[in-house]
């Protein structure tokens, strides 16, 4: 099910007049994300043992919420063994014509609809349902 929400336009804030888009090909942050200072890294690494023990305590606690226990267990496993690889498989779409690609897309959309998911990713399995109402 697709919902259309109309939003009344509002006045632009006064500061938006001063904003200008970046020229094509130019980054807004050419230096990238700032690095964490080495002394801060060393300080944080000093808490490694305590952090791991805390995660293990939460994971083993019967009083901790299930979500906290699962998160702690997952974090410990990720740190110990590395994150599980995410395998992505794709078909070679480069040799398909536009018509073949459209047919594949239509088939995929039909399959999603069959499972109750609309084109916007909403439906019973995606947590969709009644739209929120504004008061």
Q: Please give the model's pTM, rounded to 2 decimal places.
A: 0.42
Q: Is residue 51 part of a domain?
A: yes
Radius of gyration of the chain (CA): 24
Determine phi and psi for 38, rounding to 5 degrees.
-60, -35
Q: Please tell me the least confidently modeled range out of 5-9, 114-118, 127-131.
A: 127-131
Q: Is residue 59 part of a domain?
A: yes
**70: domain range?**
38-82
Q: Please tell me the least confidently modeled range out of 29-33, 34-38, 97-101, 118-122.
A: 118-122
Q: How many CB atoms lie within 10 A of CB 72?
A: 20
Query: pLDDT class for 135, splitting at 50, 70, 90?
Result: very low
| Chain segment 71-127, per-residue pLDDT in tens | 999 999 998 988 888 877 776 777 888 898 888 888 888 888 887 766 555 554 444
Quick check: 72 and 59 in contact, CB under 8 A? yes
Output DSSP code: residue 21. Answer: P
Nearest CA to 73 out of 86, 57, 84 is that of 57
Of 41 and 10, the structure prediction assigns the larger pLDDT to: 41
Chain-centroid distance, C-alpha 59: 25
Q: Is residue 76 part of a domain?
A: yes
On average, the pLDDT of the chain sits at 78
Q: Is residue 60 part of a domain?
A: yes
With 80 as the cut, is the pLDDT of residue 130 above it?
A: no
Of 116 and 57, the structure prediction assigns the larger pLDDT to: 57
With 70 as the cut, is the pLDDT of residue 40 above it?
A: yes
- Give me the number of domains the chain comprises: 1
What's residue 112's pLDDT? 83
Output DSSP code: residue 102. Answer: H
């Amino acid at each position: 099910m697709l919902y259309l929400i109309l939003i009344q336009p509002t006045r632009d804030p006064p500061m938006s007049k001063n904003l200008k888009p970046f020229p094509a090909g130019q980054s807004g942050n050419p230096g990238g994300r700032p690095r964490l200072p080495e002394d801060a890294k060393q300080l944080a690494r000093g808490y490694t043992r305590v952090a791991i023990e805390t995660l293990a305590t939460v994971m083993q606690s019967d009083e901790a919420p299930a979500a906290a226990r699962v998160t702690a267990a997952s974090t410990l496993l990720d740190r110990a063994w590395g994150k599980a690889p995410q395998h992505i498989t794709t078909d070679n779409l480069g040799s398909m014509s536009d018509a073949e690609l459209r047919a594949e897309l239509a088939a995929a959309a039909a399959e999603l609809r069959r499972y109750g998911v609309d084109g916007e990713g909403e439906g019973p399995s995606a947590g969709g349902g009644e739209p929120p109402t504004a008061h």
